[in-house]
Structure 1
Amino acid sequence: MTAFSVLDLVPVREGGSIGEAFEAATTLAQKAESLGCKRFWVAEHHAMDGIAGGATSVVLAHIGNATSRIRIGSGGIMLPNHTPFQIAEQFGTLDALFPGRVDLGLGRAPGAGPELQRALRKNLQQASEYFPQDVAELRALLTGDFDLPITATPGMGAKVDLWMLGSSLFGAQLAAKMGLPYAFAAHFAPDHLDAALALYRRDFQPSAQLANPYVMVAMNVFAADTHEEACTLASSQQQSFVALRTGNPGKLKPAIAGYTDTLPAPQRAMLDHVGQASAMGTPDEVAAAIAAFIKRTGADEIMLCGSTFDPDARLRSLEMTMESVRSKAAA
């Protein structure tokens, strides 16, 4: 049976505060746990007014303390922004605090301009080129598979599940070579989905962590009592996509009914393209779209994404989604 999990960007609303964003993320994680979701991941972004998850490991410590069973993890840590040693310490600490519950999803794209590179004191282009070696070093710092001149404490011996994240063939190749579970970011970059999953499954090499390929695919999901209401809920995230693609990112905006009808054709086409991996509508409509997506991808797990301006609307959307997919699975 397909597992379901939740990805949160910890969005900061217009008129809201960062503290409120953390409160909403915590409540969402608790709801996901109560609904039987497998894991709750937080994504790393920096220098963005509308996203509060930059200190990802700190946010995860708070989420872990507010929950008791659900796995917590990064979706993902952008490793070029860090050193493997620092991440081994951080996630080794999380594992010691929340044993058996910690995932470490790793991404290669730093997503940073020159200002952030200077702030991080990193040559991110060069760091991206060393990504495969850094992943191997990080795994060795956690497992001791290779003799390293330094030991991460906390870190060494931590039972952290490593994941490879990606939206291209590169991540799929690396995940297959290293025997890692693979999460594809179809919720914002669906172009290479089918080719990447096929490559990963074909070339997968078993590892101490994983004997067989394991695929998670992220999709945007908005459920409501009516199709129209779900489309309105989705408009806050759609506005964020448009703002980001036009170089004007900001805080999460209030929902707008009929939002896509107000857009010029190129922006509508961009949203339609991103929306290839989405489910939007009534619970039955959402469940049918998710089922079709699972059939297409053969995903072992679906990562549910989708920010809403009203945090309560996302809680309700998640509840409707989980109840509907389980009802159909039992039918």
Structure 2
Amino acid sequence: MSSAIASTRFSFLDRSRTREGYDGPQALRDTVRLAGTAEALGYYRFWVAEHHSVPGVAGSAPTVLAAAVAAATSTIRVGTGGVMLPNHQPFVVAEQFGVLASLFPGRIDMGLGRSVGFTDGIRRALGRDKEDADAFAGQLSELLGWFDGTQRAHPQVHARPAEGLRVPPYVLATGEGAAIAAAAGLPLVVGDLRGREKLMRAVEGYRSGFRPSAWASEPYVVVAGTVAVAETEEAARRLLVPEAWSMAYARSHGSFPPLATAERIEGLTMTPKERELYESGLRGHLAGTEDAVAAGLELVVGETGADEVLVTTSTYDREALVDSLERLARIAGLRGAPDTVAVT
């Protein structure tokens, strides 16, 4: 294990993906269960996501799900990757995180993004439109003001029990997120690992533009992406197959389906467009044997100077996913990593 990897934190983001034969409630229960596994292995954080009206994703209420994850664990940090601030009133978001931080002191992270619902119908249901994403910087400032008591937009109004609490905020680098994080002096979460040049530009711009704040005295970079580790290269590739096909199908048909087994997907007859998107979805991730992934991680951490790696892997086979997390924990030297991993 390199010194770069040894000094890097490793965390996990679960998007609560639904699977063929398993419904949304099962996906949420799987997320809570996986958090316990991540904690036992020694991962630093476990985050959950926000998606609205997506057939293949069950996680629509991240602060609610984060509460369930925190209640089922005891040491791992828990948070959101992230709450999409343009979808909500900052006041309510502050209240929600204030409650979480009060119930689970010292363990809650507030990951924040600037996306809005991805179709007109979803945005109307949320009471939002595309332009609301442009107000993210102002919303972020207001949200932080509810915690430190500096907000002036609503005199004599207080976000209780949030006011006076320090819940660490993180900004997801979608769109102008990196520049906004730098200007606000907040930690940055940026991905994915496949677009290395774009990733590097975002990180470099963030570091050069960072202004120290009451929340962070220096830049902090969390690099996010898919990591799949298995006994063989082929086994690792098969971990990527369900998500690659789901994304290819969504881009071809406009509907994001539940994850299917690698066996079923590999037997499909795909259109040329589907095949191109599917093959593209398999490329560029950190996937392979422990030695191969260790080398890839060393390169990524070395290039980006990342303080933390946030793994976002989704796949159908939950046992294979746990096996991958165990192998990655061993690469990273996490405290709960097994000395050996059973052959799958």
TM-score higher than 0.5: yes
Q: Does 1:230 align with 2:252?
A: no
Distance 1:175 1:194, change over 3 A: same
Match of 1:2 among 8, 26, 30: 8
**What residue in structure 1 maps to residue 259 of structure 2?**
252
Contact residue 232 and residue 257 of structure 1 kept, 8 A: no
Please say if residues 187 and 274 of structure 1, whose CA atoms lie closer than 8 Å, have aligned partners that are also in contact: no
Deviation of 1:248 after TM superposition, in Å, equals 2.4
Residue 134 of structure 1: SS of its match in structure 2? helix
Equivalent position amino acid for 1:156 in 2? E
Matched length:
325
Shift of 1:18: 1.9
Residue type of the partner of 1:291? E
Q: Distance in 1 between matches of 2:211 and 2:280?
A: 32
Task: Report what 1:15 is aligned to.
Answer: 21
Q: Could you tell me how far 1:145 is from its partner in structure 2?
A: 2.6
From 198, 210, 216, the equivalent of 1:210 is: 216
Q: Secondary structure at the match of 1:48?
A: coil
Matched, 1:32 2:38: yes
Taking a change above 3 Å as real, the CA distance of residues 298 and 81 of structure 1, as seen in their structure-2 partners, is same
Q: Structure 2 vs 1, CA of residues 79 and 235 (structure 1 numbering), >3 Å: closer, same or farther?
A: same
Equivalent residue in structure 1 for 2:327, among 320, 325, 329: 320
Structure 1 residue 178 displacement after superposition: 0.5
Closer/same/farther in 2, CA of residues 321 and 18 from structure 1, 3 Å limit: same
- SS where residue 244 of structure 2 aligns? helix
Q: What is the CA–CA distance in structure 2 between the aligned matches of 1:108 and 1:269, rounded to whole Å?
A: 30
Aligned to 1:24, the other structure's residue is in SS state: helix
Q: Which of 136, 144, 148 is the matching residue for 2:141?
A: 136
Equivalents in 1 of 2:300, 2:274: separation in Å? Answer: 24
Structure 1 residue 134 displacement after superposition: 0.5
Q: Would the alpha carbon gap of residues 50 and 139 (structure 1) be closer, same or farther in structure 2, given more than 3 Å must change?
A: same
1:6, 1:303 within 8 Å by CA — same for their partners in 2? yes
Shift in alpha-carbon separation, 1:188–1:296, aligned structure 2, 3 A? closer
Shift of 1:262: 6.8
CA contact (8 A) 1:220 1:277 kept: no
2:311 alignment counterpart? 304
Look up the equivalent residue of 1:114 and give its one-letter code: D
Is the CA contact (8 Å cut-off) linking 2:245 and 2:281 kept in structure 1? no
TM-fit CA distance, 1:317: 0.6
**Superimposed CA distance per residue, residues 48-81 of structure 1 (whole angstroms, 9 cap, x where no aligned partner):** 1211110111100000000011111110111111
Instruction: Please report how far the alpha carbon of residue 265 of structure 1 lies from its aligned counterpart in structure 2 after TM superposition.
Output: 6.2
Read off the aligned partner of 1:306 and give its amino acid letter. Answer: T
Are residue 146 (structure 1) and residue 159 (structure 2) matched? Answer: no
CA 1:221–1:268: 2 relative to 1, 3 Å: farther
Q: Aligned-pair distance for 1:258?
A: 8.5
Report if the CA contact (8 A) 1:5-1:40 is conserved.
Answer: yes
For residues 258 and 291 of structure 1, the distance between their equivalents in structure 2, rounded to whole angstroms, comes to 32
In the other structure, the counterpart of 2:72 is 66
For 1:165, the equivalent position in structure 2 comes to 172
Sequence identity, in percent?
A: 38
Residue 283 (1) aligns with residue 270 (2): no
CA contact (8 A) 2:179 2:205 kept: yes
Distance 1:203 1:277 in 2: 28
SS of corresponding position for 1:164: strand
Seen in structure 2, the aligned counterparts of structure 1 residues 261 and 2 have a Cα distance that, compared at 3 Å, is: farther
Q: TM-score, normalised by structure 1?
A: 0.91
Residue segments in structure 1 that go unaligned for 5+ positions in a row: none
Q: CA deviation at 1:295?
A: 1.4
Deviations 1:281-330 (A, max 9, x none): 11222222111111121111000111111212111110111102329xxx
Find the residue that maps to 1:201 and give its secondary structure.
Answer: helix
Once residues 288 and 186 of structure 2 are traced to their aligned partners in structure 1, the CA distance between those partners, rounded to angstroms, is: 34
| Alpha-carbon separation, structure 1, partners of 2:12 and 2:212 | 27
